Structure formats: structure tokens, C-alpha cells
A and B are shown apart, each in its own frame.
Chain A
Amino acid sequence: MYDLIVLLVLLALGYGFGRYAESSHYKSIIKREKVLNAIPAVASKVVVPPRNDLNSQLVSGSVVISIDYFKRFIAGLRNIFGGRVTSYESLLDRARREAILRMKEEAKKLNAELVFNIKLETSSIHKGRGNSIGSVEVLAYGTALYPH
């Protein structure tokens, strides 16, 4: 019985804090994306036409986000029934967009016009304790082009 009460309290805490963190993170992401869209980030490997008037430099941004108790619980249930793990979808969406934003912020410091050949990498951090720690890292990197 006590186990159940502890479980419900943890779920409520996870839900409350998780929801708050997610909604405030999304607000900040949407706001910064509007500004940083001035520096386009594209996946193409070459810039057409070639721009000899610009320098290039590697820019990167990485972010680590942890899941909350509630998200983990729902994902565990999804392991049984199958279907979209929606609780992780929004988590990874936030992580990818945040990583690109941090990369663009670095590009902005260089006064870059464009970041091309961008790539994303995702890894989970749990060091063999997958049952108790669940964090995800997303790294975004690309080549920034900036004036001489």
C-alpha cells in the first residue's frame, strides 16, 4: 500500500515538473528559432554556387535532457502494448531543436551567413543503468560560412 502511495506521489511530481519544464522549454525554443532562422542551417554537402568570398568553420551544439518519472512510466507501459511512444517523441523533438539552436548561436558569434552540411547525432546516457537513469544527448554540428 505504501509502495503504491510513493508511486503515485512520484508520478504526480514527475508529471507536474515534467509538464512545466516541457512547456517552458518549448516557449523558449519557438522564440529563439524565430530569431535564428536568419542563419539558415541546411543539410546539403556543397554550397551552390561556390562562395570563395567566405571562410568556413565547424560549429556544434549539444544538449542533454533527462526524462521524468511520468514519461518513463508511460514508456514502460508502451513496451507492453506497442504504439507511438509519445512521451519520448516530444523529449527528442526538444533535444534536436535545442541542439540546432545552440549550434546556430555559435554560428551567430562568427557572423555566419549559413551553416551547411549539418548533421545530428543522438545517444542515450545511462551507463548500464537503463532502468533508473534515462537521459538523451543530441549533438548537432555543421560548417558555418562567415565573411573574411
Chain B
Amino acid sequence: MEYSNPDLPEGINTSKEHPLKEFFILTVGLLAVVFVAISILIIIVDNFADKIPFDMEKELPISSFIDKLETEKLPPYLNEITQKVLNTFDLPKDMDITFHYVNDDTVNAFATLGGHIVLYRGLLEKLKYEDELAMVIAHEIAHVKYRHPILSTSHGIVVGIVLSAVSSSSGNTVINDLMGSTGMASLMRFSRDFEYQADKDAINSLIKLYGHADGALGLFEVFNSISGDAPSFEFLATHPLTNNRISQTTKIINKSSHSKGSTKKLYPSEFKIWLENQKQMKTK
């Protein structure tokens, strides 16, 4: 018997398809699946999360997180303004808000679970007018009013669940990075809606307090002027300031502003001195 090995044709055991084509189809497919899954789940969760009683939200172990920030008691002036702004809101009875002050250069203010609102010295220093300060406070109170902290926490959990489900089935750490950014993109979309909603209420609150909402525009101008040069300007990361947001708020203001050309109230001199002292204390 004769034995022989023929020249076998190529392409039997391999695919002729270009690997980049496969890569493109699979990647886009995965991102689309993740994005759609997260978006659908977030819509579902949105119908439930704000039904969680505020009392239950208050019991979440958030105070240890607040304590880590080394928060201090509010000075009388800040206390007065926060109460003034708070009174313009018609909050449910069980929803009580706790304000915190942090002596730190970080330019930020945020509302978190359990009705805690944190104001940083860095942000207070950048402002000159009481109206702008009131806008910041009103904006954060509106976040609490609409249950945004618990909603965005639920969104975060949804994103985490979807990502870990997909990544454990792919068994590949590389793919996690890719999906992390898609998850963030879908989260950002929802958090922008929150900002619009909070701005709207904050402007109404300003109008109730001062008869006009120049503080809102002033605040945006301040943000625009410092966004370029301040590395510690975290406010924009948590509160995306897009051109859309500015134009939308301008629209609301133009619609409802009663007295145009009105003047904003400056910070009282005691408060300015107090801020200066706080800064010196920190640098020591």
C-alpha cells in the first residue's frame, strides 16, 4: 500500500472572516445589550425607589460616611440662610434635612442619602452673593425633595448588577473596563434629568425669597469662570453644567422673573471674615 500526505487546501479549520469585522459586531452588540438592559432596569427601578419611605432611607448607615468628611456645625449666617431657603420648600413631614459644613478647599456641595446636605468652604468662598448661596442650597434641597439620592443609588446598584452579570459570563477582566464606561454613560443621562428638575425648583424657591432669580444665573457664571482652572472643582463632576442646562434655566427665569434689573444681596462682612478665618485655620 502506498501512503501519502496531500497538500490540503487552506481555510478549512480557520475562518476567512476579517477579525476586525467580528470584533466590531461583537463589541457594538455587547455595548448595545448592556445599555438597553441598564436603561430598562433603571426605568423599572425609578417606579419603585421613590416609594421607599424616607424613614427607611434615614436608617441607612450614611452617618459614618458623613463623619469621615470632618463636618462642623454651621455658623449662624449659614444656618439662617439654610432655614430661610428650607421654608420656601413644601417638604413632606417626615423629610428632615441636616446641613453640614466642611472646612476644605474642595469646590463642591452635595446632597446624599438620609437628607444630608454637605457644603464645602471652597464653594462658599467662590460666591459673593447671598442669592447665589441660596441657589446652591435650594438646588440641593430640591435633590432631596425628589429623592434623587436614593434614585441614583438604585441606578448605581442596577448598573453594578448588569455589569457583574455580563462580566462573570464573559470571564474576562478586560471587558469590564469597556462596560464600565457604557454604564457610566447611561447613568449620566439620568443624572442630567435630575439637575434640570432640581434647578427648576431652586429657581422657584429663589423667586419666592427675593422676587427674582438672578442668583441662579450668577451661580452659573461663577461656575463657568472657574471651571477651567480649578482642579478641585468637583461640583461639575457631580452636577454636569451643560449649555443645555444654562439655556433651560434662563428660559424658566425669563418666564417667571418679576423684577428685572434687581440687585443681588452681597455676603455680610462678618461672614466674609469668618470664611477668611476658616481658611487660615485650615492652612495652619
Taking CB atoms and an 8 Å cut-off, the chain B residues in 153-179 that contact chain A are 166, 169-175, 177-178
- Count residues of chain B with CB under 8 A from any CB of chain A: 31
CB-CB under 8 A from B13, the residues of chain A are 89-90, 92-93
A80 & B5 in contact (Cβ 8 Å cutoff): no
For the complex, give the distance between the alpha carbons of A19 and B139 in Å. Answer: 55
Residue in contact with A77 in the complex, picked from B5, B170, B181, CB distance below 8 Å: B170
Known: A33-B7, A41-B5, A87-B19. A81 touches B29 (CB 8 A): yes
CB-CB under 8 A from A53, the residues of chain B are none
- Count residues of chain A with CB under 8 A from any CB of chain B: 42
DSSP majority for the B interface?
helix
Known: A78-B26, A81-B26, A86-B15. A4 touches B178 (CB 8 A): yes
CB-CB under 8 A from B22, the residues of chain A are 74, 86-87
A90 & B178 in contact (Cβ 8 Å cutoff): no
Q: Does B243 contact A (CB under 8 A)?
A: no
A42 & B3 in contact (Cβ 8 Å cutoff): yes
A84 & B172 in contact (Cβ 8 Å cutoff): no
B170 & A93 in contact (Cβ 8 Å cutoff): no
A72 & B174 in contact (Cβ 8 Å cutoff): yes
Interface centre among B22, B170, B174, B175 (most CB of A within 10 A): B174
CB-CB under 8 A from A72, the residues of chain B are 172, 174
B10 & A79 in contact (Cβ 8 Å cutoff): no
CB-CB under 8 A from A49, the residues of chain B are 1
Known: A73-B174, A89-B14, A131-B171. A40 touches B29 (CB 8 A): no
CB-CB under 8 A from B178, the residues of chain A are 4, 7
Residue in contact with B14 in the complex, picked from A10, A34, A70, A93, CB distance below 8 Å: A93
For the complex, give the distance between the alpha carbons of A84 and B5 in Å. Answer: 28
Measured between C-beta atoms, what is the minimum distance from B38 to chain A in Å? 15
B5 & A40 in contact (Cβ 8 Å cutoff): yes
For the complex, give the distance between the alpha carbons of A75 and B17 in Å. Answer: 15
CB-CB under 8 A from B173, the residues of chain A are 131-132
Measured between C-beta atoms, what is the minimum distance from B177 to chain A in Å? 4
Interface centre among B1, B17, B19, B180 (most CB of A within 10 A): B19
Taking CB atoms and an 8 Å cut-off, the chain A residues in 1-28 that contact chain B are 1, 3-4, 6-7, 10, 15, 19, 26
Q: What residue in chain A is nearest B169 (Cβ atoms)?
A: A80
Residue in contact with A40 in the complex, picked from B3, B7, B17, B169, CB distance below 8 Å: B3
Known: A77-B27, A89-B13, A89-B15. A37 touches B171 (CB 8 A): no
Residue in contact with B175 in the complex, picked from A77, A93, A130, CB distance below 8 Å: A77
A15 & B19 in contact (Cβ 8 Å cutoff): yes
B175 & A73 in contact (Cβ 8 Å cutoff): yes
A73 & B17 in contact (Cβ 8 Å cutoff): no
Residue in contact with B174 in the complex, picked from A42, A76, A80, CB distance below 8 Å: A76
Q: Does B4 contact A (CB under 8 A)?
A: yes
25 CB-based A-B contacts, threshold 8 Å? A3-B177, A6-B177, A7-B174, A34-B7, A37-B5, A37-B6, A40-B4, A42-B5, A73-B23, A73-B175, A76-B171, A77-B26, A78-B26, A84-B15, A86-B14, A86-B19, A86-B22, A89-B13, A89-B14, A90-B15, A116-B3, A130-B171, A131-B171, A131-B173, A132-B173
Q: Which 8 A-B pairs have the closest CB atoms?
A: A76-B172, A86-B15, A77-B26, A93-B13, A90-B14, A40-B3, A3-B177, A76-B170
Residue positions of A touching B, CB distance < 8 A: 1, 3-4, 6-7, 10, 15, 19, 26, 30, 33-34, 37, 40-42, 48-49, 69-70, 72-81, 84, 86-87, 89-90, 92-93, 114, 116, 130-132
Residue positions of B touching A, CB distance < 8 A: 1, 3-7, 10, 13-15, 17, 19-20, 22-23, 26-27, 29-30, 166, 169-175, 177-178, 180-181
New A-B contacts (17) at CB < 8 Å, excluding given A73-B23, A87-B22, A90-B15: A3-B177, A4-B181, A19-B19, A33-B7, A40-B4, A42-B5, A48-B1, A72-B174, A73-B174, A73-B175, A74-B23, A76-B171, A77-B27, A78-B26, A79-B170, A79-B172, A80-B170
